[in-house]
Amino acid sequence: AEEPAAEEPAAEEPAAEEGGYQIPAIEEGKYNVGFVYVGPHDDGGWTQAHDVGRMYVEANVADVHTAYVENVAEGADAEQVIRSLARKGFDVIFTTSFGYMDASELVADEFPDVDIIHLTGYKANGENFGNLMGAMEDMKYLAGMLAGSRAKMDGNPKLGYIATFPIPEELRLGNAFALGVQQTCPECTVDVRWIFTWHDP
């Protein structure tokens, strides 16, 4: 008699697709942390900094599983992805773009057992929805001091500053830079240009 074929090992559950986005699965028995990224995870900037932190947690904190969805457009797409992660069973979701604020708030209201941490807005509900932002003003102020010193040394009192969107955090950072400039070059002016994008390589 012919021997039965050996059973193939069960394949890992594939990520489900939601509106063109691959929604990762949770790992049972672990604390599951999801990240929603506005750009690619390896963009060399904002998103990659979050991903480095995510990988550090995964490697150094026991019983934690992390996953991310990248290149998520702000607005309806963000809402769909955040909701899909909540439905999947993620315990906490980090939403890492200012434009995810309203979607984060909405999904947090729908899923009171899921914690949603938004970077970098200003809304919170005091229960399962909050926000955070690193104190980058200090570095911007120091950068402004350096730029002002160099401008004074070069005899050119005109400086430029490129910013993304005119939102509270960007205004705060630009103001910190300008105050640093004024510290070392009171006669200097700063010309601000808004590029209206987070990622445009």
Q: How do residues 35-47 score in pLDDT, each as one tens digit?
A: 999 999 999 999 9
Segment 85-128, tens digit of pLDDT: 999 999 999 999 999 999 999 999 999 999 999 998 899 999 99
Predicted pLDDT at 8? 44
Rg of the chain (C-alpha set): 22
Q: Does domain 16-131 have CATH number 3.40.50.2300?
A: yes
Predicted pLDDT at 3? 52
d(C-alpha 110, C-alpha 51), whole Å? 26
Predicted pLDDT at 12? 44
Could you tell me the pLDDT band of residue 20, with boundaries at 50, 70 and 90?
Answer: confident
Segment 130-181, tens digit of pLDDT: 999 888 999 999 999 999 999 999 999 999 999 999 998 899 999 999 999 9
Domain boundaries, the chain: 16-131, 137-194
- Which fold is adopted by the domain 137-194? Rossmann fold (3.40.50)
Say yes or no: do domains 16-131 and 137-194 share a fold.
yes
